[in-house]
Structure 1
Amino acid sequence: MKTDLWHVGFLNRPVTDLMVPGALAKSAITWLPLPASFQFIADPFGIKTDDGLTIFVEYFDYRIKRGEIHYYSYDAAGALMTRGEALVTPFHLSYPYLIQDDGALYMLPEAHKSGVLTIYRCDHFPDRWTPIATLLDLPAIDATVVQHDGRWWMFYALPGPDGRAMRELHIAYADALMGPWRQHAGNPVRTGYESSRPGGNAFVHDGKLHLPMQDCVAHYGAAMNILRIDTLTPEHFAAEPVERLTAEGLMPGYTDGIHTLAGFGDTTLIDVKRIETSAKAHWIKLQHKLNRALGKR
């Protein structure tokens, strides 16, 4: 039985440095502590504070099979200070996308099983988040928001049959973060498994907006392609892959995938994957069924 196990690390380099072929493999990476067996952390997003660096991740235990958002706080010297739960709900959470606007910090986690896209405001950093608005009445997946050319833009995927979440890119736009959000005239603006599902913060490089995208041709999260966005209006969209990233040479044993690239300031976050093949996974599956029967989270 095959099981995807992800892990998270950070680099003290701006994301634009990684646009040079081979730069990621040559970078020094600090890896977060490994969770217990058949648990993983993925989808890292972070923020710098006066005390250092705080990273938010999806935490997933195959015995529970419902993602939670956890945090890891590091001091300025790169030492782990604290860790804990940031956001836990009755439904699965992942991709804790962070947004700063008008002096406030928000999180836009993926929660497509709730049926909507909800934005949370940070009321106590880093562990108290309050839902304040529904941005889309759609089960948006991996919603990635950026302010660009006087508008707010949101890139996201949608669930559906035949791997729809991995092969269609949708866009919405708004004049303000809280909306109202409108759908792009060309949705889905991009199709294909190689670069249609978002995978991290948008960033500007050589005067152009770039967007990390998952390459799911071989399997989910196998690699990343960076899209250079050449046209972005409410009616038109054009983009071209310009750089490809893989997990080769990054973390021993975790060479089967990479599906998040999140840069902010002089720090970049990544996650990498290994595909575990183990008979023990069958017992973990049985434990999951028992936990559900007992009503455990």
Structure 2
Amino acid sequence: MPCTSDCDRAAAPVRAAVLLPAGRSRVWQERAALALAGLPGVACDVVRVRAARREDDAQWRRWAGSHPELQELRVDDENDAAALADAAGAWDAVIDLAGIADPGPWRARSRFGVWQPLDAQGLHLAAPYAVHASIVSGGGGELALVRDGATAVETMRYYADPHYPRALGRAYLGLLYLLAAGLLELAHGGEPAADAFAPQAPRPRWRRAVAGLRGRWRSQLRRWRSQWLSESWMIGVVDAPIERMLEGRFAERIRWLGGRDAQQYRADPFGLPGEDRLLYCETYDYRDGVGRLELLRLDADDTVAQAHPAGPQRPGHVSYPYVFEHAGRAYAIPETAQRRCCELYEIDAHGQWRFVATLLEDVAAADASLFVWEGRFWLAYTDLSWGAFDNLCLSYADDLHGPWRRHARHPVKLDHRSSRPAGTPFVHDGALYRPAQDCTGGYGQAVALNRVRLCTPQRYREDVVAHCRPDPRGRNPHGLHTVSAWGGRTLVDGKRYVFNLRELGRKLRRRYEAAQPVGV
């Protein structure tokens, strides 16, 4: 069943002024203005203004000359902003994409002030070396839509290659999300967020150059690790309910199941409701690089006594068998993002999976996790078309079988530190909590626990309140990316980077084949 976008009430009309450079503009600025013009319930007036003069250097000019988003376009000269303002009345927001020198005069013409895309150092996105400091640090890019220089209306943080020229384009794509999220919040009756924005001190030129070299070195280290090492995941169990994650020191209680295997690893564990010895997981085969589902039976001391193939027996990678109970029946939603669909199965008393419905079509949904909140079914997932682990998307339905509708904001969140689902959402003391992956420096580093503040078909807000990080002295010190409720216990998984000849051979063959000319 296709997933459609729907809102319970029509959006109120929002009028915004979009400030663009006069005479010469860049591709990303014009593209952003065109995207805003297509937003439902938003009317935009384009105002051509004189942008502030900004110092650049030969390095920046070389990068700008080769980057497609930084190509310059000839555009109209300045137009009469006062006449536009008089015709429109006060705008709801003035969006400064040009990088004007003095936003002060524009504030009087806007109900919610002047919004500017600024990086963590307070640099406007139109300035040379914007988002440079956060990208080369290795912690990912960071960009905020800042109101009147003081409060963040929306913020995005995204995973980025620490090599700055390769990662810059993601900031321009993320800008479209920031602008749409901020304006749609107004259109659906919300108020702009008022989180304080405190820019960091800008770096002098010599420190920026040194940081850039460090970023290139970090980029190369990541590449070497990806080429020569392999992830080895392992399933563990904690003898405590999932809400104990809120207390900290959770990783120290993990008991790991079994040893390390040179042919495969197991990850993404989910227990069968009502059973304390049966669980489902992904089993990844190093030889072909494909994940498949297994049913594991544990014995009395929590060692794996039996393992059987499970789930839909279809070609392609299958993982993250999200298992849950509804109306006394067991269901599962396995990840089949490679097939661009999200399917619901019922698990019978004999462990057989019966197809029930397609929840999402033509969507590469990763780690789809279902929960019920305020009378609706919700499906949280990462849309791989937006990125591998830095976005959160939501769909909702009044009935488990559908129809499913896409949230008005898509995605609802861009933050590689706390977006991609990582297990079972749960309710504790009346509040809803959602586990998510923390991918600050790479995939599956830790689990962030979000407290959901607002969840409606039009609006969504959550805050990180706790983390579950791997034990640096434990058996799996390099990552942790699933925590799933299993009655009074919790299932987890953890990883260590290892040298695996089987997967290394497969990687080398794949690189060799990719390097061959077409037709050879």
Q: Name which of 204, 208, 220 aligns with 2:427.
A: 204
Q: Distance in 2 between matches of 1:97 and 1:278?
A: 28
- 1:63-82 equivalences under 5 Å are 63-75=287-299, 78=302, 80-82=304-306
* 1:24 paired residue among 251, 265, 268: 251
What per-residue deviation string (whole Å, max 9, x for no partner) do you get for residues 50-96 of structure 1?
Answer: 6x321111000110211111111225664544321112321110000
How high is the sequence identity, in percent, across the aligned residues? 32
Residues 278 and 100 (structure 1), Cα distance of their counterparts in 2 relative to 1, 3 Å cut: closer
1:243 aligns with 2:466: yes
Cα pair 1:5 1:38 within 8 Å, conserved: no
1:175 partnered with 2:411: no
Q: Distance in 1 between matches of 2:297 and 2:509?
A: 31
Secondary structure of residue in 2 paired with 1:33: coil
Question: How far off its partner does 1:12 sit?
Answer: 1.6
For 1:115, the equivalent position in structure 2 comes to 340
Q: Are the counterparts in 2 of residues 213 and 224 from structure 1 also a CA contact under 8 Å?
A: yes
Alignment gaps of 5+ in structure 2: 1-227, 512-520
| Counterpart among 235, 246, 258 of residue 8 in structure 1 | 235
CA shift for structure 1 position 247: 0.8
Instruction: Find 1:147's aligned residue among 352, 368, 372.
Output: 372
> SS at 2:454's partner residue?
strand
Amino acid in structure 2 at the alignment position of 1:193? H
Q: Secondary structure at the match of 1:262?
A: strand
- Which residue type is aligned with residue 270 of structure 2? F
Contact 1:62 1:288 in 2 (8 A): no
Q: What is the identity, as a one-letter code, of the residue corresponding to 1:130?
A: R
Higher relative contact order (CA 8 A, sep 6+): 1
Q: Separation in 2 of the partners of 1:39 and 1:285?
A: 15
- In structure 2, the residue matched to 1:295 is none
What's the C-alpha RMSD, in Å, of the aligned pairs? 2.1
In 2 relative to 1, CA 36–201 (structure 1 residues): closer, same or farther, beyond 3 Å?
same
- Change beyond 3 A, Cα 1:60–1:133: same
Please say if residues 286 and 502 of structure 2, whose CA atoms lie closer than 8 Å, have aligned partners that are also in contact. Answer: no
C-alpha contact 1:171 1:188 (8 A) present in aligned 2: yes
**One-letter code of the match for 1:159?**
L
For 1:63 and 1:261, how far apart are their aligned partners in 2?
27
Q: How many positions carry a matched residue from both structures?
A: 282
Structure 1 or 2: larger helix share? 2
Cα distance change, pair 124–86 in 1 and its aligned pair in 2 (3 A): farther
Residue 325 (structure 2) aligned to one of 100, 108, 119: 100
SS of 1:113's equivalent?
Answer: helix
76 and 179 in structure 1: CA distance in 2 versus 1, 3 angstrom threshold = farther
Distance (Å, rounded) in 2 between the aligned partners of 1:85 and 1:221: 25
User: Aligned partner of 1:102: which letter?
Assistant: A
Contact 1:63–1:288 (CA under 8 A) maintained in structure 2? no
How far 1:286 sits from its partner (Å)? 6.0
Partners in 2 of 1:61 and 1:80 — Cα distance? 18
For 1:214 and 1:182, locate their aligned partners in 2 and report how far apart those are by CA, in whole Å.
24
Q: Does the 8 A contact of 1:63 with 1:287 survive in 2? A: no
Report the secondary structure of 2:245's partner residue. Answer: helix
Other structure's SS at 1:282 match? helix
From 283, 293, 298, the equivalent of 1:59 is 283
Match of 1:256 in 2: 478
- How many angstroms apart in 2 are the aligned matches of 1:48 and 1:76? 18
239-248 or 85-94, which deviates more: 85-94
Structure whose residues are more often strand by fraction: 1
Counterpart pick for 2:381 among 156, 164, 172: 156
Q: Contact 2:257–2:303 (CA<8 Å) still a contact in 1? A: no
Q: Distance in 1 between matches of 2:343 and 2:450?
A: 26
Contact 2:258 2:303 in 1 (8 A): no
Give deviations 1:82-132, integer Å, cap 9, x for gaps: 321112321110000012122321110000111111111213533x21222
How much does 1:232 deviate? 0.6
Q: TM-score, normalized by length of structure 2?
A: 0.51
- Summarize deviations over 1:225-277 as a string: whole Å, max 9, x none: 1000010111111100000111115742x100000011132110100011124
Using the TM superposition, give the Cα deviation of residue 17 of structure 1 relative to its aligned residue in structure 2, in angstroms. Answer: 1.3
Q: How far did residue 140 of structure 1 move?
A: 1.1
1:233 is matched by which residue type in structure 2?
T
**Offset, 1:284:** 4.4
How many Å apart are 1:205 and its aligned residue?
2.0
